[in-house]
Amino acid sequence: MKLNNLASSLLSLVAVADAASLTQVTNFGSNPSGARMYIYVPDRLQTNPPILTAIHYCTGTANAFYTGTPYARLADQYGFIVIYPESPYSGSCWDVSSRATLTRDGGGSSTSIAQMVRWAIERYNADRNRIFVAGTSSGAMMTNVLAATYPDLFKAAAAYAGVPAGCFYTGTVAGWNSTCANGQSIASQQVWAQTALDMYPGYTGPRPKMMIYHGSADTTIYPQNFNETMKQWCGVFGYTYGSPQQTLANTPSAGYTKYVYGENLVGIYGSGVTHNIPVNGENDLNWFDGIKGGSSTPTTTAVTSSVPSTTLSTSTRTTTTSSTSAPTPTGCTSQRWGQCGGIGWTGCTTCASPWTCTKLNDWYYQCL
């Protein structure tokens, strides 16, 4: 028994030493925008694993999103892969404004990210029916762009505090469209839907189901963008904006209202929530069909059914997942990655130690 205990202690030490880490991939194929690819492959992987692409905010990095969101911890628990793309542009916003990135295989950052996903599918023999994308702020804008440009690649998406695909258009690479950011780009659901459909003309196949998060107190990417993004996907999926099937108060957590338009579109609107909107990892996994393994449920796709994945035994870690919590109150300090200044900003302007308030652009300062 003692020897067994010793042996298992040694084994767990080895396991710790071998623990998976965030790794850069430099040879993932054509990379027209020069975006960087990082990947997290947990030690225990499902057979034909699912892949989540997790896209950072302006000023973010792959590593910041890896450490600052619950996805990697959840990947350890459930055995899926996470790709963390990193913006090649100064200021680290994503290019969601050029014609190239707003076009399928147009040679912008959206193409580079699609290449990362295609590469990882091949390399890890991933399940094409369980490929997902999520992002925050600039990463949420890119999430919407990817849903429009590569609807055949992704099965579901979660966008936190973004804008409709095409809303940030400026005709320049990684431009900042303040009309859109300020919630002044307003159109009908037909117009927004057409904007998305035009990014991959002629495509009639399945599309990723969309979950759109936004906070009512967002003064960086104004909350009108929630309404406009909901219009866009309502138009694409044939729902009627303003007439959700269900409106659920305090769902998925206190202060949030969930609007269910149908199986392909859900909006989650946080009352009093700022641009510093927390990632609700568990809620996202529940949206990403089959990402947890076990019973993979192919939903929106007519392609070959997924290979059943092996079920991982119970989680290897006991750390609790950080889910949605109350937003940072104003009149205090902003937390790490929170906004701390910029045009129109009325919240706190100092950062919790040891972070400093860093200017990204005139509209956005962030605690880094």
Ligand X SMILES: *[C@@H]1O[C@H](CO)[C@@H](O)[C@H](O)[C@H]1NC(C)=O
170 makes contact with ligand X (CB under 6 A): yes
* Alpha-carbon distances, residue 129 vs 49, 142, 258, 305 (angstroms): 10, 21, 26, 7
Q: Using the rule CB under 6 A, give the single segment among 28-36, 106-114, 179-187, 294-302 that binds ligand X.
A: 179-187
Burial class (CB in 10 A: 0-12, 13-18, 19+), 105: middle
Within positions 181 to 210, which residues make up the interface with ligand X, using CB under 6 A? 185
* Bridge partners, 292 (sequence order): none
CA angle 272, 276, 278 (to 5 degrees): 90
Stretch that binds ligand X, among 5-13, 67-75, 173-181, 318-326 (CB under 6 A): 173-181
Shortest separation between residue 74's beta carbon and ligand X, angstroms: 28
Residue of 96, 167, 199, 217 interacting with ligand X (CB under 6 A): 167
- Looking at the Cβ atoms of 170 and 350, the one nearer to ligand X is 170
Catalytic residue positions? 137
Shortest Cβ 241–ligand X spacing (Å)? 9
CB of 256 to ligand X, least distance (A): 11
User: Which uninterrupted H or E stretch holds 146?
Assistant: helix 138-149
Indicate which single residue of 61, 111, 177, 296 sits in contact with ligand X (rule: CB under 6 A). 177
Q: What crossing angle do the helices spanning 138-149 and 189-197 adopt, rounded to 10°? A: 70
Q: Which is nearer to ligand X, 38 or 261 (CB)?
A: 261
Nearest to 199 by CA among 167, 240, 234: 167
Task: Give the residues across from 41 on adjacent strands.
Answer: none
Q: Which is nearer to ligand X, 129 or 144 (CB)?
A: 144
Q: Would you count residue 271 as binding ligand X (CB under 6 A)?
A: no
CB-CB contact of 54 with 84 (8 Å) = yes
Size of the residue set binding ligand X (CB under 6 A): 11
Residue 19 buriedness (CB in 10 A; 0-12 / 13-18 / 19+): exposed
Nearer Cβ to ligand X (171/344): 171
Kindly tell me which of 261 and 269 has the beta carbon lying closer to ligand X: 269
Shortest Cβ 71–ligand X spacing (Å): 26
Residue 59 near ligand X by CB under 6 A:
no
Among 51, 114, 120, 180, binds ligand X (CB under 6 A): 180
Q: How far apart are CA 338 and CA 278, in angstroms?
A: 10
**Interface with ligand X by CB under 6 A: which range of 76-84, 99-107, 142-150, 162-170?**
162-170
Q: How far is the CB of 211 from ligand X (least distance, A)?
A: 14
Identify the residue among 169, 213, 355, 363 touching ligand X (CB under 6 A).
Answer: 169
Asked if residue 81 lies in contact with residue 45, where contact means CB atoms within 8 angstroms, the answer is: yes
What is the residue whose two structure tokens read 């989540």?
52
Of the pair 110, 227, the CB lying nearest ligand X is at: 227
- The angle subtended at Cα 93 by Cα 90 and Cα 95, nearest 5°, is 100
Check if the beta carbon of residue 210 is closer than 8 Å to that of residue 264.
yes
What is the Cα 189 distance to its own chain's centre?
Answer: 23
205-264 residues in contact with ligand X (CB under 6 A) are 226-227
Site stretch for ligand X (CB under 6 A), options 17-25, 176-184, 292-300, 358-366: 176-184
User: Could you list the residues that contact ligand X (CB under 6 A)?
Assistant: 167, 169-171, 177, 179-180, 185, 226-227, 269
